[in-house]
Amino acid sequence: MGTIVWLGSEVMFFAGLFAIYFTLRSAAPEQWAAESGLLNVPFSLTNTLILVASSFTAQFGVFAAERLQPRATGWKPTQWGMVEWFFITYAMGAIFVAGQVYEYAMLVSEGVRLDSNAYGAAFYLTTGFHGLHVTGGLIAFLLIIGRAYSVKRFGHKEATSAIAVSYYWHFVDVVWIALFMIIYVLK
């Protein structure tokens, strides 16, 4: 229940970021047209698909946790446990964050910086806070994986923790889909 309440507050936080983005965008539409042309949409779409795919692997990890299966019983993906699925989710999330860092480096080289103009400020604030949330999710996955290795018996308490982390991860993915649509598609 606490996770759901906390995610509700996160919805309000990101709603504020979206409001900032739209307000600045409406104040300088020509700046948005020029600066958004520098975005590498195919690269960002690929990065987005990786993040969205990670929600599926996280959910497969939840299914394993609900079966009280922390680790693999064989080599086939149908036999993988929560730990294996969460490691894959972690890797995909880390790839996403690395992709964001690469995109930032490319945009900075093009002159789009946090302090360059309203577009830079809005872009880096919205995507940067999302990136911090993804990084927080990655840390949470490592804690859940570590907990699965440290307990003598994987039980409902550990499965519930895995489910709570998956709620957060799905939330972060949905927020990114909205950000991607607003920043990259609706230029």
Q: How would you write the pLDDT of the chain (187 residues) with one tens digit per residue? A: 777 888 889 999 999 999 999 999 999 999 999 999 999 999 999 999 999 999 999 999 999 999 999 998 899 998 999 999 999 999 999 999 999 999 999 999 999 999 999 999 999 999 999 999 999 999 999 999 999 999 999 999 999 999 999 999 999 999 999 999 999 998 6
d(CA 70, CA 84) in angstroms, rounded, equals: 8
d(CA 63, CA 60) in angstroms, rounded, equals: 5
Nearest to 55 by CA among 169, 131, 135: 169
**Tokens 């606490």 -> residue:** 2
User: Count of CB atoms within 10 A of residue 155's CB?
Assistant: 11
Environment class of residue 185 by beta-carbon count within 10 Å: exposed (0-12), middle (13-18) or buried (19+)?
A: exposed
Number of folded domains in the chain? 1
Query: Residue 107 has what pLDDT?
Result: 97
Domain extent, residue 35, equals 2-185
Residue 39: C-alpha distances to residues 47, 74, 104, 109, 161 (Å): 13, 43, 10, 12, 37
CATH number at 36 reads 1.20.120.80
Query: Residue 4 has what pLDDT?
Result: 82
